[in-house]
């Protein structure tokens, strides 16, 4: 899910689709554009994307971040984003593209799963509320849009096994929104707090090591079910990381983690 926050839906390219709307699409190796969409991309990875990709490649999360991503701070943002680094070749291909297709296909990022649908977070400033919105917007060269297989958002999500990705991305988007309040003041995300939060969000193996080997467990009480799973379950570590960021940086009470009295 590529989440684009907006308060102006009319300015977004593509056709907005609601739950009951349909779109036609089919991608298969016989299309002349096969794999053309896997190059020169500018897309951000969510923490759950990184978990799945590092598991697929069987490497630790810090090695994945070092070898496959660039960390960028977008203008007006107070927390970095993680950009998938394209290969250093004339076509700037995705690092996971091979002649036979995507080498991480079962663990491909959310943006690839959702394509040609993009998701956004609509911010209704008047009501101080957010809701997800969806747009069908394949690039012009994509032949798949002219095929006749019909989908709704739900059937496409099921076909692409994207339901859990949707949940994880929406949970992370709600944490990311909090950073609009700039919790680092003038010190910025390079501060110690900022680096700790980045680790908790994106570097799941390093955060697990920190939780298990520092005084973290003496200082914080972790919800019992979550605590049992953190040794072996990356998603549990990520959920703890999100809860800890909310509490540590923003003072939000969460059931997952509390300061010990
Ligand atoms: S451009 Fe569209 S049809 Fe072509 S390979 Fe990509 S998703 Fe499939
Ligand atoms: S991860 Fe796979 S599907 Fe996504 S852009 Fe790269 S090669 Fe294409």
pLDDT digits (tens, 9 = 90+) for 146-161: 999 999 999 999 999 9
Query: Within 13 Å of residue 206, how many CA atoms lie on the same side as its CB?
Result: 14
Q: Is the pLDDT of residue 248 over 70?
A: yes
Ligand 2: which atom is nearest the Cα of residue 43?
5
Residue 127 pLDDT grade (very low, low, confident, very high; cuts 50, 70, 90): low
Q: Is the pLDDT of residue 122 over 90?
A: no
237: its two tokens: 């570590």
Residue 232 pLDDT grade (very low, low, confident, very high; cuts 50, 70, 90): very high
pLDDT number for residue 1: 41
pLDDT number for residue 143: 96
Residue 11 pLDDT grade (very low, low, confident, very high; cuts 50, 70, 90): low
- At CB < 8 A and 24+ separation, what contacts does 8-11 make? 9/122, 9/133
Q: Which ligand is nearest to the CA of 143?
A: 1
Q: Is the CB of 149 under 6 A from ligand 1?
A: no
Q: Find how far residue 36's CA is from the centre of its chain.
A: 23
What are the tens digits of pLDDT across the range 21-38?
999 999 998 999 998 999
Q: Which of 1, 49, 96 to mutate to test the pocket of ligand 2 (most atoms within 8 A of CB)?
A: 96
Q: Which of 94, 99, 100 to mutate to test the pocket of ligand 2 (most atoms within 8 A of CB)?
A: 94
Q: Is the CB of 104 under 6 A from ligand 2?
A: yes
For the residues of 84-135, what is the DSSP string, one character each? Answer: EPPPSSTT-B-TTEETTEETTGGG--HHHHHTTEEEEEEEETTTTEEEEEEE
Q: How far apart are CA 44 and CA 178, in angstroms?
A: 18
More confident residue, 8 or 199: 199
Q: Pick the residue whose CA is nearest to atom 7 on ligand 1.
A: 27
Residue 3 pLDDT grade (very low, low, confident, very high; cuts 50, 70, 90): very low
Burial track 77-115 (b if 16+ CB lie within 10 A, e otherwise)? ebbbbbbbebeeeeeebbbbbeeeeeebeebbbbbbbbb
More confident residue, 177 or 237: 237
CA of 35 to the centre of ligand 2 (A): 8
What are the tens digits of pLDDT across the range 189-200?
999 999 999 999
Residue 79's nearest CA partner among 204, 173, 210 is: 173
Q: Pick the residue whose CA is nearest to atom 3 on ligand 1.
A: 144
Give the percent of the chain with pLDDT over 90: 77
Looking at every residue in the chain, the average pLDDT score rounds to 91
pLDDT number for residue 45: 96
pLDDT number for residue 7: 55
What are the tens digits of pLDDT across the range 42-61?
889 999 999 999 999 999 99
* Spatial contact of 109 and 43, defined as CB atoms under 8 Å apart: yes
* Spatial contact of 113 and 160, defined as CB atoms under 8 Å apart: yes
Average pLDDT on 159-177 reads 91
Q: How far apart are CA 97 and CA 87, in angstroms?
A: 9
Q: Is the pLDDT of residue 8 over 90?
A: no
pLDDT number for residue 2: 46
Ligand 1: which atom is nearest the Cα of residue 28?
8
Q: Pick the residue whose CA is nearest to atom 8 on ligand 2.
A: 38
Residue 252 makes CB contacts below 8 A (sequence gap 6+) with 178, 246
Residue 107's nearest CA partner among 43, 53, 65 is: 53
């Amino acid at each position: 899910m590529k989440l684009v926050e907006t308060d102006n839906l009319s300015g977004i390219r593509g056709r907005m689709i609601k739950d009951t709307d349909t779109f036609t699409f089919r991608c298969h190796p016989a299309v002349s554009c096969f794999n053309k969409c896997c190059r020169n991309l500018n897309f951000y990875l969510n923490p759950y994307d990184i978990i799945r990709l590092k598991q697929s490649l069987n490497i630790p999360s810090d090695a994945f971040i070092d070898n496959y991503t660039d960390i960028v701070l977008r203008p007006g943002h107070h927390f970095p984003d993680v950009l998938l680094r394209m290969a250093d070749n004339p076509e700037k291909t995705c690092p996971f593209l091979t002649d036979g297709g995507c080498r991480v296909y079962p663990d491909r990022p959310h943006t690839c799963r959702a394509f040609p649908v993009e998701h956004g977070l609509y911010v209704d400033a008047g009501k101080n509320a957010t809701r997800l919105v969806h747009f069908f917007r394949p690039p012009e060269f994509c032949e798949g849009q002219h095929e006749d297989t019909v989908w709704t958002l739900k059937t496409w999500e099921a076909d692409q096994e994207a339901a859990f990705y949707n949940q994880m991305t929406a949970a992370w988007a709600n944490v990311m929104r909090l950073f609009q309040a700039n919790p680092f003041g003038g010190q910025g995300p390079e501060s110690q707090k900022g680096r700790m939060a980045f680790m908790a969000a994106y570097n799941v193996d390093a955060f697990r090591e920190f939780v298990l080997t520092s005084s973290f467990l003496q200082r914080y009480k972790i919800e019992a079910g979550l605590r049992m799973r953190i040794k072996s379950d990356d998603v549990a570590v990520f959920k703890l990381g999100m809860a800890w960021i909310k509490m540590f940086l923003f003072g939000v009470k969460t059931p997952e983690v509390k300061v010990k009295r």
